Structure 1
Amino acid sequence: MKSIIKSMLSKSLWRYIALKRRLPWGPYKRMSSRDRNSFASMLSIWRPSNALPVILLEWNMTRWCNYKCSYCNQPHQRFARNGKYTAHAFDNFPLEDWLSAFARHFENRRLALLISGGEPMMDKKNMLPFLQKLTVMPTVEYINISTNASWNPKMYEGLDLSKIMLLLSYHPTQVAQESFFNRLDELLEFGFKIGMVNFVMSKDNFAQYSDFKTKIAKKGVPSHSSPQWQLRGKYSKEELAILKQELPEMDYSYRTGVISTFGKKCLFPAVSYQMDQTGHILVSCHPQVTGSFFDQSLPSVFAGPVPCPHISCGCLHKYSLLKGSNRDTNVNILQIYSNILKQKQGINS
């Protein structure tokens, strides 16, 4: 019965939002002077008056992965099919088509690109030429790549790394700690910038985190005690106490669901998109506003900050653009968070 009521309320909410989106004076079509003032510092970064605006694109490039973690429920095969599409972007459309679309959509807008998976770096054929082309595009601000670090950095010999930052994830059941640290050293020696290392705080991992954090801090890299999304609301008081100690206050509150984001004004849907491996793209957090990356133009982002339609938010790049977050020193949110973690963990930059 509860699930039926929840579903009905959710449908009613999205109908209401769809109606509000059509109103010419609503926040989706027009930014009020109050919102312009409240978000002035963020807008000066993302929509500066003296430079091109910035678009943040979260691209789930692939569901293909060489790890099979118990807390991950996605398919892992490269050619796993969902209708006519497979699990990897470059199997669904040629690399040239993707590059052409990137060039078209970001000729007059700057791009902050977040690539995730699956494991994006498993594609040994296409990732190097893709990154080579994007890093030389003048409108590309930076590229953040989420990866498990299971690949050899020597494959990327000659690549300009100045715009690239890695977000590593350590999965204790899939790789020995010593092997992971050896690969981390190789990446650093090769020249890759590493924003942080995600340590998923599953029930089985809590006891290992403290030792891991100490060891990795010696390498100048911050660790991130990442709450497991599926366990939100199911952590014990003792486990929550550990997370509260390890995470910055805002991140603890949103990532564990202690504080709801529902109804709070957020700039994220005014500056960002989310896209999957098929090119299906949506204005972030609003699945009704969609299009294809291969269309001539993308669906329009909103005019300014709009109320969050979700009960909770566990994504760093999203809740960092909520009203009052005060994380607006530059568009590379991973770099900002990395600096916050380094300061908290006593790591010298």
Structure 2
Amino acid sequence: MKILYVITGLGQGGAERVVCDLADEMYIRGNKVKIAYLVGDVLTMPKYEDIELIKLNLNNVYSLPSAYLKLSKIIRKFLPDIVHAHMVHANIFTRLVRIITPIKKLICTAHSANEGGGGRMFLYRITHYLSDLTTNVSEYASNAYIKKKAVPENGIITVYNGINFNNFKYDEVSGKKIKENLHINSNTKILLAVGRFHNAKNYPNLLRAFKILKEKSSEPFYLLIAGDGELRTQLEQLINDLELVKDVILLGRRNDIPALMSACDIFILSSDYEGLPTVLIEALACEAHVVSTDVSGAREIIGENFGKIVGIGNPQALAQAIYEISLTNISRNSKASIFVKNKFDLDTIAKKWISIYNEK
């Protein structure tokens, strides 16, 4: 089978990692795979070099015609059995390319309950007929698209993101090395957040919650944040304003996330919106305790027993949940690791996609 994945970009994000891992799995299974991406630098890539990466250079409205024709040409030459687009810009762009380009089967996958305002939902709605199947990554997100009329009733299905758990498992030795390298006392509890510095992640909510926690608890805490982005200067200023300079470490982009998750006592997601937050799955796979805002997919990941969920944009509730977990949980969250590995394993999800690809 020939498969062409089309994605908005290959930056450092959860959706990008999911697509690259899926491409690897399809390649392992004997398929010929290419990835076309609209814009940006390649920060996330598949493991196998035989998976060709093709940049379409859709940098602005003036480059739209050339990018459009380039993707059309790629499809006509490669003749894929499946074109599988991911994220809003790639989904709509690929649907429009289909107007002039024969595509055997086009699948469009959204990766969030919130991919933009009414304009984007309108574009989803009027181009829906150009896709053979539309999917989203959580039941919550799929239902949100129906409510927003981006898709008709029964016009979307849920397929969870598949996670490669080979690296995401608890490693006590790596966790201890993180503490040693950062000169953090073994008695100090580590809170961890991972993700780009973007408004959706609402790091100010996390920092304000951490300030409340420091005032509430007599225990020592460090907050580590792995990631970077355009809001870094603003976050640094807020850390200074809240007098948290000695207690918060901005780690920048890291390639040792499993070790950080193994080192942390509590993983925190403070976002305002997500699709299926894979970092929560990865943290639970590393047996971390988790606190998350009530974003799309969080309840499907955490279930009834494996973490705490609080309201969006409520630092008091976030601080209280962290405080309660810090008092009651000493051992690792081992049962949660089993739960997420059974539900989101990449091999299982890849088999589901193959079944969908083969449907007539």
TM-score normalised according to structure 1 size = 0.34
Between Structure 1 and Structure 2, which shows a larger proportion of helix residues? 2
